[in-house]
Amino acid sequence: MNSDDEFDTGSVVLDRTTLGSSLATRQLLPNNTYYWRVRAIDPDDNKGVWNEGEPFQKSFADQTVLGRSSIQNLHMFFPDADGITAGYQTTTRLVMWGPVPGASSYQVEVGAWTGAICNYNSPLTSITATTAWSPLGSSPSGDPYSTPALTAPANDSLFALSPTHQYCVRVRPHDRSDTMT
């Protein structure tokens, strides 16, 4: 497998010999177009001609390739549905979304709504392995923007959003090969 359609040796991604007629890699591939070819080798190590397969594109969470956002069904959920039943309800709203195949985590950013645009210059940022996120508490200053730019999931409980402000939320999926930037 190669990232160059001329199969230049400097761009080899995977070069394996296998017994049988299939091969799978456990190697994480970055977003790219990949070209592949196979050839038979007999028991005397005589190699046959190369047979090229159709190229394929790995485009995890790449909006320009997918033609849409990889995050689907992003919405706000308010668990206190009836306001009467005790026990499972909360006054904290949840941001929820549909799972992205291959995602190992999600980066959630909360920015201020200015009335015209979403301001993500100093977002509240969290990483979660689930398809839901919520700020669970108050920061020491009461300001959700006084936190460091990257917050570990264990520290989510330190932050709360002000009920008198409006916010925007965006979510980005990550696979294990991503760096969280």
Give the C-alpha separation, 30 to 12, whole Å.
13
Please tell me the pTM assigned to this model: 0.57
- Residue 44's SS3 state is coil
Residues whose CB falls within 8 Å of the CB of residue 77, separated by 6 or more in sequence, listed in order:
93, 94, 95, 96, 132
- Residue 138's SS3 state is coil
Domain boundaries, the chain: 1-58, 75-174
Instruction: Tell me what pLDDT residue 86 has.
Output: 62
Q: What is the mean pLDDT of the chain?
A: 75
Amino acid at site 145? Y
pLDDT 10s digits, 76-115: 876 655 566 665 555 567 889 998 877 888 889 888 888 8
